[in-house]
Amino acid sequence: MTDELDVVARALATEGYQVREFLSYRRGGSGGRLVLRALDERSDEDVAIKCFRRGPNISRKHLAREVLYHRGLVHKHVVSFKRVFLTPYYLCIVMVYAPHGNLQQWLQRAGCFPEGLARALFQQMVCAVDFCHGKGVFNRDIKLENLLVTVESGAGGQHFKLQLCDFGFSKGRHDSTPKTLAGTWGYIAPEVVKSCYERRGYDGRAADIWSLGICLYRLLYGALPMVATPNRPKKRNWWVGAELNRLTQLIVEIPEVQEVVVEDGLQDISRVSDPCRLLLSRLLCADPRQRITLPELCRTPWFLTDYPADLVGYNERLARDYAADIRNRLDEYLQSEAELEGLVDAAVERVPAGWDQVGSPAIVGGSASNFTTYALPTRSTVQSPDARGV
Ligand SMILES: Nc1ncnc2c1ncn2[C@@H]1O[C@H](COP(=O)(O)OP(=O)(O)OP(=O)(O)O)[C@@H](O)[C@H]1O
Span 225-231, average pLDDT: 63
How many CB atoms are located within 10 Å of the residue 246 CB?
A: 14
Of 71-80, 91-100, 323-332, which gets the smallest average pLDDT? 323-332
**pLDDT at residue 316 in the model:** 93
Beta bridge partners, 17, equal 40
Alpha helices in the chain (DSSP H): 4-14, 60-72, 103-110, 115-134, 190-198, 204-221, 274-283, 294-297, 301-304, 314-320, 323-333, 337-348
Span 58-85, average pLDDT: 94
Span 4-33, average pLDDT: 86
pLDDT over 90 at 154, yes or no = no
Question: What are the residue ranges spanned by the domains of the chain?
Answer: 3-97+317-349, 103-312
pTM: 0.86
Q: CA dist 65 to 28, 72, 344, Å?
A: 17, 11, 10
Active-site entry in 141, 268, 306, 310: 141
Average pLDDT along the chain: 83
- Which CATH superfamily is 3-97+317-349 part of? Phosphorylase Kinase; domain 1 (3.30.200.20)
Domains 3-97+317-349 and 103-312 share a fold: no
**pLDDT at residue 200 in the model:** 79
Distance of CA 236 to the CA centre of its chain: 22
Q: What is the pLDDT of residues 260-276, one digit of tens each?
A: 766 666 667 789 999 99
Span 178-200, average pLDDT: 80
**Is residue 41 annotated as involved in ligand binding?**
no
**pLDDT at residue 380 in the model:** 34
C-alpha 291/C-alpha 388 separation (Å) is 27
CA 22 to ligand 1 centroid distance, Å: 11
**Is residue 145 annotated as involved in ligand binding?**
yes
Per the CB < 8 A criterion, the answer to whether 386 and 159 are in contact is yes
CATH number for region 103-312? 1.10.510.10
CA 222 to ligand 1 centroid distance, Å: 21
**pLDDT at residue 304 in the model:** 98
C-alpha 389/C-alpha 116 separation (Å) is 13
